[in-house]
Amino acid sequence: MTTLKDLSRHLNLSVTQVSRALNDHADVSEETRRRVKEAAIKLKYQPNVAARKLVSGRSGIVGLVLPNMPKMAEAPIFVQTVGGMSAHFARRRMQFVLNIADESEPILEIYRRLISGGSLDGFVLLEPVRDDPRIEFLQSQKVPFVVHGRDREEPDYPYFDIDNFGVAHRLTRYLTDQGHRRIAFLNGREGLTFVEARREGYRAALGEAGLRYDPHLHLCADMEEGFGIISAVRLFSENPRPPTAVIAGNLRIAKGLYDALRAMHLSVPQDVSVVAHDDLLPDIKANAFDPPLTTTQSALELSWEPLAEFLAGAVANVPAAALQKLGELRFVERESVAPPQQP
Amino acid sequence: MTTLKDLSRHLNLSVTQVSRALNDHADVSEETRRRVKEAAIKLKYQPNVAARKLVSGRSGIVGLVLPNMPKMAEAPIFVQTVGGMSAHFARRRMQFVLNIADESEPILEIYRRLISGGSLDGFVLLEPVRDDPRIEFLQSQKVPFVVHGRDREEPDYPYFDIDNFGVAHRLTRYLTDQGHRRIAFLNGREGLTFVEARREGYRAALGEAGLRYDPHLHLCADMEEGFGIISAVRLFSENPRPPTAVIAGNLRIAKGLYDALRAMHLSVPQDVSVVAHDDLLPDIKANAFDPPLTTTQSALELSWEPLAEFLAGAVANVPAAALQKLGELRFVERESVAPPQQP
DNA sequence: GTATTTTTCCGAAACGTTTCGGGTGGCAAT
DNA sequence: ATTGCCACCCGAAACGTTTCGGAAAAATAC
């Protein structure tokens, strides 16, 4: 293994100067810098991360801590997430480590262990809840992190999110504009901030249309196909006043919903209008629905690069304000909505 | 952050002795050891991994390098694998890092980069091919690793595998015992050693029954549902002499096969007998098939623990012979096989 | 009583890097 | 000729741990 000392001997330079040359410091001549870099490549020099970390405090390793094994239904998202992050961090010459918690160990303990050993530079946080304890903890420990989402409206930490209020608002508004007055919303698991944001967007759009928010029409659960199926039954077969339109939180829910509606001989959009939000996952396509589904869309896949970039920035002490971004959102009109039938 | 020096000051001991006490060396009195360990807990001492690594050469980090982003069809296996490994290494207080290769960078370059930086202690290798270049490379570099599978019959490195020869042999033998004489085998991607082992098991069992191996009946492809579908068509609708039984390499292939046979109005087991190997993945069950599928089974899920254990062992210089294991294999008879129809 | 071993401890060096403070020598300004 | 400045370079210290060789204290043997 080549070290700085080897290089310095080989070049008749001091270790100091070699280090400075490789790190592009100011006071090293152009000529020397070139020589050094060439030699480094020729001798396959790779800096020893441990040594570097010891003095600089940075290890180039960031982590993702998951509270539990992902369920099978979440597999595609898990692949996207872990794969995407890993790839983008690798591109930045950073290591990405995955840590799946034992249920036995409290999650904050895991963070504590990982940071106090000094092995990790920072973390990626997924699925924040309101006033997320992880965020509070990491902030109190002054450990860099980036959040996929937000746990409050205007955070002072790095994040990448989409306008979830806008998602729900837009979808709801589109339906009220067509004359719908009873609109159900199949949202996500309660407590998650993006679910709350969507609820508010939904509620706001209802208000603007002069409609009142009916809690019976706002359902919360894990965003799986089964949720769509069960909700369809609950909304349309056990309900004296069923909705005329349904908003699905993602395509998986919408899929279940479509299937169940078909089984109940309700047709889209004649009997029920359906819209959804589409994360553009590769395994399920909105225009492969029958009829093609009207959606808001924003590619989940585009999250990983900014997340990696922002975490790298945070580790390098870039101020948080420069490390915040909202993803693009598009509205795509297809054929799953019609005006409500007159009763 | 508490360091050894802090502890030593606090205890009126030398740094040396504190270190030795914590690492359970011989020449430290019982009394001192106790005092030191108590203080360590009280002051929340966590050894700095970077410093430790610098002198010991171990980082406690192991890695998995994947040649490319997993395809969606492989998502459940990916989740199992990555999740399982990560969890088991975490239990051993080791970090597990995932590295998804850019197509641009040759895979051995990635290994080279990761080991010469000195950041990783060892690797987990998946899906070995015969005379796998990764194995040769890592062996030549004297880097510890463990293989899920084998790249030769009796390797001198740590591995966990199942008896793939046995899998194919058993399934084939079961069919020949029932009188089948034309048996197709839907195997995996060519080049993988487990695929070759299965081919040999198949071929051997055929031989024992006095049948000759017909290459037209041994098909190789990625083990996805589509492979089962396409093979069904090829074997049964374009073939003057179709097989009377089919062996599927896994349940996903079997699923495609079942679906396609049904579409072609061929019934299992009256028209075609089917058997398969079952990795006991959570998203697909052999007895949920109609009719329930006769299988060999061995839980993929049970691989992760021995793999983690063996890699940890390899890093600690345990001889390879003690780090090799074959997984359990069971044969489960269900209702997907009948004697062949007389022509 | 001295000689020898055993137990328990410690100082110092080492791992490979970054960085601090302080050099040189050359050149322009005074 | 002195001063100041600049571009370039270097030695040494530091990061936190482990380990080597040796030393003091205690226990045992003669």
Considering only residues B76 and B148, tell me which one the structure prediction assigns the higher pLDDT: B148
Nearest of A164, A173, A248 to residue A208 by alpha carbon:
A173
pLDDT of residue A343: 54
Q: Note whether B301 and B280 are within 8 A (CB).
A: yes
Considering only residues B78 and B123, tell me which one the structure prediction assigns the higher pLDDT: B123
Query: Can you tell me the distance from the alpha carbon of A111 to that of A98, in angstroms, rounded to the nearest whole number?
Result: 12
Residue to mutate among B43, B55, B97, with most A CBs inside 10 A, is: B97
pLDDT of residue A198: 98
pLDDT of residue B58: 84
Q: Which residue is nearest to nucleotide C6 (CA to C1')?
A: B27
Q: Which residue of B lies nearest to A82 if distances are taken between CA atoms?
A: B98
- Structure-block tokens of residue B71: 């395809």
Q: Please report, rounded to whole angstroms, the spatial distance between the CA atom of protein residue A26 and the C1' atom of nucleotide D3.
A: 26
pLDDT of residue A210: 96
Of chain B, the end-to-end C-alpha distance in Å amounts to 80
A141-187 pLDDT per residue, tens: 889 999 999 999 899 999 999 999 999 999 999 999 999 999 999 99
Give the contacts of A305 (CB within 8 A, at least 6 positions apart).
A84, A88
Res. A237: pLDDT tops 80: yes
Q: Note whether A213 and A236 are within 8 A (CB).
A: no
Q: Which residue of A lies nearest to B48 if distances are taken between CA atoms?
A: A117
Interchain CB distance below 8 Å, B72 and A79: yes
A181-214 pLDDT per residue, tens: 999 999 999 999 999 999 999 999 999 999 999 9
Which of B152-157's residues contact partners 24+ apart within 8 Å by CB, and which partners? B152/B193, B155/B320, B155/B324, B156/B320, B157/B314, B157/B320
B228-284 pLDDT per residue, tens: 999 999 999 878 899 999 999 999 999 999 999 999 999 999 999 999 999 999 989
Query: Can you tell me the distance from the alpha carbon of B127 to that of A99, in angstroms, rounded to the nearest whole number?
Result: 23
Interchain CB distance below 8 Å, B87 and A76: no
List all residues of chain A from 88 to 147 with a beta carbon under 8 Å from chain B: 90-91, 95-102, 113, 116-119
- Structure-block tokens of residue B151: 């790249």
Which of A1, A72, A117 comes nearest B46 by C-beta? A117
Query: Can you tell me the distance from the alpha carbon of B156 to that of B153, in angstroms, rounded to the nearest whole number?
Result: 10
pLDDT of residue B343: 54
Residue B342 binned pLDDT confidence (cut-offs 50, 70, 90): low
Give the contacts of B29 (CB within 8 A, at least 6 positions apart).
none
Q: Please state, in angstroms and as integers, the Cα–Cα distance from residue B292 to each residue in B264, B268, B285, B286, B334, following that order.
A: 19, 10, 9, 6, 6
pLDDT of residue B79: 87
Interchain CB distance below 8 Å, B96 and A101: no
Q: Note whether A111 and A134 are within 8 A (CB).
A: yes
Q: Return the minimum-mean-pLDDT range out of B98-112, B176-190, B329-343.
A: B98-112
Q: Which residue of A lies nearest to B281 if distances are taken between CA atoms?
A: A72
Chain A CB within 8 Å of residue B239 CB: no
Which of B48, B54, B98 comes nearest A86 by C-beta? B98
Query: Can you tell me the distance from the alpha carbon of B90 to that of B82, in angstroms, rounded to the nearest whole number?
Result: 12
Nearest of B150, B129, B133, B126 to residue B77 by alpha carbon:
B126
Percent of chain A clearing pLDDT 90 (strictly above): 77
> Which residues pair with residue B113 across a beta bridge?
none
Contacts of B78 in chain A (CB under 8 A): 75, 78-79
pTM to 2 decimals?
A: 0.86
B33-68 pLDDT per residue, tens: 999 999 999 999 999 989 999 998 888 889 999 888
Chain B CB within 8 Å of residue A48 CB: yes
Average pLDDT of the segment spanning B280-301:
95
Dihedral angle computed from the Cα positions of residues A205, A207, A213 and A217, in that order, rounded to the nearest 10 degrees: -30
Which one-letter amino acid corresponds to residue A269?
P
Query: Can you tell me the distance from the alpha carbon of B29 to that of B279, in angstroms, rounded to the nearest whole number?
Result: 52
pLDDT of residue A60: 86
Q: Please report, rounded to whole angstroms, the spatial distance between the CA atom of protein residue A26 and the C1' atom of nucleotide C26.
A: 19
Q: Which residue is nearest to nucleotide D14 (CA to C1')?
A: A55
CA distance A116 to chain B (A): 6
Q: Return the minimum-mean-pLDDT range out of A36-45, A258-267, B57-66.
A: B57-66
Measuring from the CA of residue B45 to each C1', which nucleotide is nearest? D16
pLDDT of residue B99: 86
pLDDT of residue B187: 98
pLDDT of residue A157: 97
For strand C, the positions having any atom within 7 A of a protein Cβ are 7-12, 14-20, 22
Interchain CB distance below 8 Å, B102 and A119: no
Q: At what angle do helices B164-177 and B193-208 cross, to 10 degrees?
A: 30
pLDDT of residue A98: 87
Residue located via tokens 């203080």: B39
Res. A79: pLDDT tops 90: no
pLDDT of residue A179: 96
Three-state SS string over chain A comes to CCCHHHHHHHHCCCHHHHHHHHCCCCCCCHHHHHHHHHHHHHCCCCCCHHHHHHHHCCCCEEEEEECCCCCHHHHHHHHHHHHHHHHHHHHCCCEEEEEECCCCCCHHHHHHHHHHCCCCCEEEEECCECCCHHHHHHHHCCCCEEEECCCCCCCCCCEEECCHHHHHHHHHHHHHHCCCCCEEEEECCCCEHHHHHHHHHHHHHHHHCCCCCCHHHEEECCCCHHHHHHHHHHHHCCCCCCCCEEEECCHHHHHHHHHHHHHCCCCCCCCCEEEEEECCCCCCCHHHCCCCCEEEECCHHHHHHHHHHHHHHHHCCCCHHHHEEECCCEEECCCCCCCCCCC
Which of A37-42's residues contact partners 24+ apart within 8 Å by CB, and which partners? A39/A7, A39/A10, A39/A11, A40/A7
Chain A CB within 8 Å of residue B288 CB: no
Which of A87, A99, A113 comes nearest B86 by C-beta? A99
Q: Count of CB atoms within 10 A of residue B129's CB?
A: 18
Query: Can you tell me the distance from the alpha carbon of A202 to that of A186, in angstroms, rounded to the nearest whole number?
Result: 11
Interchain CB distance below 8 Å, A83 and B69: yes
pLDDT of residue A212: 95
Residue A342 binned pLDDT confidence (cut-offs 50, 70, 90): low
Q: Please report, rounded to whole angstroms, the spatial distance between the CA atom of protein residue A16 and the C1' atom of nucleotide C23.
A: 14
Considering only residues A163 and B92, tell me which one the structure prediction assigns the higher pLDDT: A163
CA distance B12 to chain A (A): 24
Give the contacts of A19 (CB within 8 A, at least 6 positions apart).
A4
Which of A49, A75, A118 comes nearest B119 by C-beta? A49
Which one-letter amino acid corresponds to residue A203?
R
Res. A109: pLDDT tops 90: no
Contacts of A44 in chain B (CB under 8 A): 112, 116
pLDDT of residue A74: 83
For strand D, the positions having any atom within 7 A of a protein Cβ are 7-12, 14-20, 22
pLDDT of residue A329: 96
Beta-strand pair B273-278/B294-297: parallel
Most confident by average pLDDT, A91-95, A157-161, B64-68, B105-109: A157-161
pLDDT of residue B22: 94
pLDDT of residue B97: 87
pLDDT of residue A268: 93
pLDDT of residue B15: 93
Contacts of A118 in chain B (CB under 8 A): 1, 46, 48-50
